[in-house]
């Protein structure tokens, strides 16, 4: 019950419509979250005459107009403001308003941890995803920005680098539909309780700042820096290179493709190098949940049957829930699953090596033939051991009339896009890594 928004037990069938309508409403209102409905067996065996209740839309709290006016005044007076867009902008469907606001007020946009699809990455005002590994984005916020506008983000540990952002004394404004999220980790100068879409609609009625050449040049500089950061550069490896895989995917994926990832060290490559133009195109766990990649992909394909769905999973994560490929087969959800096989739980090994060099424990795996396993689930099974094999395999998977599993053999030494396991040995990692 402590992690749910509401816990309720239905003891009589006649209460089912009322309780279920309320349960769905609460789950979708404010900050979306789980609701637990307990259904006792004896109740389920009873008969009842009931009428269903039409669902009602989730409540959208509207902003205080005076606070929006104060926010606009601060934005127009700032020299280098930045906007951080979080999941709240996605839940409220505020993407069009977010783009219009960024353009009208000449404000660059960062996205919170693993929320890159909240804003089109090719837009000239997009300057990156705020993660601990994205040094240029973190420096931009901590050293250059004179105002941070946060919309729909709790400013959690991953986004803020263990609560180091915004820096002490840095002016910032926070908009969130859930009052409890305002100032949860840092106290804002202006806190606005509002649905993101509602707040932006009101804000767009105000006048933006005059065009400023120096601000435009500053935004262009950081957009270019983000482009460089998200461009793979190949590194020599004894197996297939993750950088080469990402480069091939960037050149091949349709712009509306949906990418899902599992938790693991491999996830840093798609998070850094893939670009997202459409909403609902990147689904990834935000706190190390292993085993999500394949189930995410199956659900995404059922929700968006016309879009290509690609799941990125590690060998360890696939061993947990890869059997959901049987579910994909059952429901005709044809997805492409890429299994990165480095023979172990490499993210855990990275932390072991950093904290306790040479004391690796419990992170080796004895893996099956994943390509053959994919075939056993009725998918097209393919194996890649060298760089030049990936693109032909992926194109074959895209044209298949069924799901496909591509097993990519990778080198465990390459644990992040910027460092090797050997380089990290004995060097405690920064928070959030």
**In three state form, how does the secondary structure of 258-285 look?**
EEEECCCHHHHHHHHHCCCCCCCCEECC
Q: Per the domain annotation, does 208 fall within a domain? A: yes
CA nearest neighbour of 233 among 246, 224, 220, 221: 246
What's the pLDDT at 162?
Answer: 86
The DSSP output letter for 153 is: -
Looking at the structure, tell me whether residues 93 and 29 fall in a common domain.
no
Partner residues linked to 84 by β-bridges: 110, 150
409: CATH: 3.40.50.970
What's the pLDDT at 430?
Answer: 62
Say if CB 349 and CB 420 are below 8 A apart: no
Instruction: Categorise residue 218: left if φ over 0, alpha if ψ from -120 to 50, beta otherwise.
Output: alpha
What's the pLDDT at 411?
Answer: 94
Looking at the structure, tell me whether residues 397 and 283 fall in a common domain.
yes
155: CATH: 3.40.50.1220
CA dihedral 272, 389, 349, 165 (to 10 degrees): 0
Looking at the structure, tell me whether residues 217 and 332 fall in a common domain.
no
Looking at the structure, tell me whether residues 19 and 71 fall in a common domain.
no
Looking at the structure, tell me whether residues 98 and 209 fall in a common domain.
yes
d(Cα 316, Cα 363) in Å, to the nearest integer?
9
Q: Per the domain annotation, does 234 fall within a domain? A: no
Task: Look at residues 162, 197, 229 and tell me which one is the last residue of a structural domain.
Answer: 229
Say if CB 222 and CB 143 are below 8 A apart: no
List, for residues 310-358, the tens digit of each pLDDT value: 999 999 999 999 999 999 999 999 999 999 999 999 999 999 999 999 8
Looking at the structure, tell me whether residues 208 and 223 fall in a common domain.
yes
d(Cα 102, Cα 224) in Å, to the nearest integer?
17
What's the pLDDT at 58?
Answer: 74
- Using the predicted structure, report yes or no on whether residue 433 has a pLDDT greater than 60: no
Name the range with the highest mean pLDDT among 134-143, 183-192, 290-299. Answer: 290-299
What's the pLDDT at 431?
Answer: 52
- Report the number of distinct structural domains present in the chain: 3
What's the pLDDT at 238?
Answer: 86
User: DSSP string spanning 159-186?
Assistant: HHTTTT-SPTT--EEEEESSGGGTTSSS
Peptide bond into 165 cis (omega under 30): no
What's the pLDDT at 380?
Answer: 99
- Using the predicted structure, report yes or no on whether residue 145 has a pLDDT greater than 90: yes
Looking at the structure, tell me whether residues 302 and 356 fall in a common domain.
yes
Task: Look at residues 59, 83, 104 and tell me which one is the last residue of a structural domain.
Answer: 59
Mean pLDDT in the chain? 94
Looking at the structure, tell me whether residues 29 and 89 fall in a common domain.
no
- Using the predicted structure, report yes or no on whether residue 124 has a pLDDT greater than 70: yes
Partner residues linked to 191 by β-bridges: 174
Q: Per the domain annotation, does 333 fall within a domain? A: yes
CA nearest neighbour of 337 among 323, 351, 358: 323
Residue 320 Cα distances to 263, 293, 301, 316, angstroms: 12, 10, 20, 7
Q: Is the pTM of this model over 0.85?
A: yes
What's the pLDDT at 191?
Answer: 98
Strand segments, DSSP code E, in 109-233 are 109-111, 126-129, 147-151, 172-176, 190-193
Interior/surface letters 254-276, b for 16+ CB within 10 angstroms, e for the rest: eeebbbbbbbbbbbbbbbbbbbb
Average pLDDT over residues 231-255: 94
Q: Angle at CA 250, nearest 5°, toward 415 and 335?
A: 85
Of the two residues 225 and 432, the one the predictor is more confident about is 225
CA nearest neighbour of 288 among 314, 308, 249, 310: 314
List, for residues 366-381, the tens digit of each pLDDT value: 999 999 999 999 999 9
The DSSP output letter for 335 is: -
Structural domain including 168 reads 65-229
For the chain, report the end-to-end CA distance as a whole number of angstroms: 30
Q: Per the domain annotation, does 235 fall within a domain? A: no
- Using the predicted structure, report yes or no on whether residue 216 has a pLDDT greater than 60: yes
Model confidence at 390, pLDDT cuts 50, 70, 90, reads very high
Looking at the structure, tell me whether residues 99 and 219 fall in a common domain.
yes
Q: What percent of the chain has pLDDT over 70?
A: 99
Looking at the structure, tell me whether residues 384 and 268 fall in a common domain.
yes
Looking at the structure, tell me whether residues 122 and 24 fall in a common domain.
no
Q: Per the domain annotation, does 74 fall within a domain? A: yes
Average pLDDT over residues 94-108: 98
Q: Per the domain annotation, does 432 fall within a domain? A: no
Partner residues linked to 426 by β-bridges: none
Looking at the structure, tell me whether residues 119 and 18 fall in a common domain.
no
CA nearest neighbour of 172 among 200, 198, 153, 196: 153
- Work out the number of other CB atoms within 10 angstroms of the CB of residue 207: 9
What's the pLDDT at 399?
Answer: 98
Say if CB 405 and CB 318 are below 8 A apart: no
d(Cα 316, Cα 318) in Å, to the nearest integer?
5
Q: Per the domain annotation, does 430 fall within a domain? A: no
What's the pLDDT at 43?
Answer: 94
Residues sharing a CB contact under 8 Å with residue 316, sequence separation 6 or more, in sequence order: 264, 290, 344, 345, 365
Average pLDDT over residues 381-386: 98
Q: Per the domain annotation, does 433 fall within a domain? A: no
Task: Look at residues 196, 229, 262 and tell me which one is the last residue of a structural domain.
Answer: 229
What's the pLDDT at 1?
Answer: 63
Q: Calculate the CA 7 to chain-centre distance.
A: 27
List, for residues 16-67, the tens digit of each pLDDT value: 999 999 999 999 888 889 999 999 999 999 998 888 888 877 778 999 999 9
What's the pLDDT at 135?
Answer: 86
């Amino acid at each position: 019950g402590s992690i749910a928004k509401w816990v309720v037990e239905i003891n009589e069938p006649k209460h089912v419509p009322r309780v279920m309508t309320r349960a769905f409403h609460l789950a979708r209102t404010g900050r979306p979250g789980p609701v637990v409905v307990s259904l006792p067996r004896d109740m389920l065996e009873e008969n009842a005459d009931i009428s269903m209740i039409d669902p009602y839309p989730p409540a959208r709290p509207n902003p205080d107009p005076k606070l929006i006016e104060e926010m606009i005044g601060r934005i127009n007076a700032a020299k280098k403001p930045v906007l951080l867009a979080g999941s709240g902008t996605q839940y409220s469907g505020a993407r069009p308003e977010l783009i219009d606001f960024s353009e009208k007020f000449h404000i660059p946009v960062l996205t919170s941890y693993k929320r890159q699809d909240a804003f089109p990455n090719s837009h000239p005002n997009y300057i990156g995803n705020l993660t601990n590994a994205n040094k240029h984005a973190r420096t931009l916020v901590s050293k250059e920005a004179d105002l941070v506008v946060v919309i729909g983000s709790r400013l959690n540990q991953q986004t803020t680098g263990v609560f180091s952002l915004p820096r002490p004394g840095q002016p910032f404004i926070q908009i969130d539909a859930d009052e409890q999220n305002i100032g949860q980790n840092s106290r804002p100068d202006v806190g606005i309780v509002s649905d993101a879409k509602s707040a932006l609609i009101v804000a767009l009625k105000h006048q933006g700042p005059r065009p400023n050449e120096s601000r435009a040049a500053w935004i262009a500089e950081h957009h270019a820096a983000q482009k460089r950061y998200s461009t793979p550069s190949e590194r020599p490896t004894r197996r297939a290179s993750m950088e080469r895989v990402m480069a091939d995917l960037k050149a091949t994926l349709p712009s509306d493709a949906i990418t899902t990832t599992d938790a693991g060290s491999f996830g840093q490559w798609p998070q850094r190098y893939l670009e997202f133009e459409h909403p609902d195109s990147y689904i990834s766990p935000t706190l190390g949940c292993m085993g999500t990649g394949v189930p995410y992909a199956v659900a995404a394909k059922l929700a968006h049957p016309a879009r290509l769905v690609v799941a990125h999973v590690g060998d360890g994560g696939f061993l947990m829930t890869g059997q959901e490929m049987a579910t994909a087969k059952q429901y005709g959800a044809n997805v492409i699953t890429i299994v990165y096989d480095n023979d172990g739980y490499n993210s855990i090994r990275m932390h072991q090596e950093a904290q306790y060099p040479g004391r690796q424990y419990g992170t080796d795996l004895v893996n099956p033939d994943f390509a053959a396993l994919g075939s056993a689930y009725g998918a097209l099974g393919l194996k890649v051991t060298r760089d030049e094999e990936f693109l032909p395999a992926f194109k074959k998977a895209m044209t298949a009339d069924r799901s496909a599993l591509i097993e990519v053999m990778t080198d465990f030494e390459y644990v992040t896009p910027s460092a090797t396991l050997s380089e990290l040995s004995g060097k405690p990692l920064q928070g959030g890594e």
